[in-house]
Amino acid sequence: MPRIHHVSLDCSPGCPVEATLALIGGKWKGLVLYHLFEEEVLRFNEMRRRLPNVTQRMLTSQLRELEADGFVLRKIYPEIPPKVEYRLSARGRSLEPVIRALKAWGDAHVVVKGAVAKGAVAKGAGTPPKRSAHSPKRAVA
């Protein structure tokens, strides 16, 4: 088996990688962004259906953070019951190559329960793979 060599990247505190991950990191933000790339506009409950394992409170929190950081735009319609739509801002759309690259890497390299990640995502309906020190089923090629 070939030995993996790690390249030292100079990313001291505050570097662009750390700053970017601080903004888009978190269990659900990447998936929220991904679904907004796919659908362009989603209402809150549509997003919840795509991410059935996220709680309402967590999804609200993640959407508010993405909105506060300028990645997501929220439009409220003056109706009863209230209608709220979410879409990507120009800043959010600028992340598309990053999110697409993460998906492509996952499709090529991440194995989840014996299936390539793309199959796991379709079957898991928005469930991020769980890490377990006791489960050898998730491997990186």
What was the pLDDT predicted at 134? 41
Would you state the pLDDT for residue 82? 86
Mean pLDDT of the chain: 80
Where is 85: in which H helix or E strand? strand 83-88
- Contact (Cβ atoms closer than 8 angstroms) between residue 41 and residue 87: yes
Treating both helix axes as pointing N-terminal to C-terminal, what angle do 29-39 and 56-68 enclose, rounded to 10 degrees?
80
pLDDT of residue 131: 47
Residues 16-135, CATH architecture: Orthogonal Bundle (1.10)
Q: State residue 139's pLDDT score.
A: 44
105-114 long-range Cβ contacts below 8 angstroms, 24+ apart: 108/141, 109/140, 109/141, 110/138, 110/140, 111/137, 111/138, 111/139, 111/140, 111/141, 112/137, 112/138, 113/137, 113/138
Confidence at residue 136, expressed as pLDDT on a 0 to 100 scale: 38
Which parts of the chain register pLDDT below 70?
1-11, 111, 113-141
Q: What is the pLDDT of residue 37?
A: 93
Report pLDDT for 2. Answer: 53
Residue pLDDT, tens place only, 92-106 = 999 999 999 998 998
Q: What is the pLDDT of residue 19?
A: 85
Determine the pLDDT at residue 30: 93
pLDDT value of position 123: 45
- Residue spans per domain, the chain: 16-135
What local confidence, expressed as pLDDT, does residue 16 receive?
A: 86
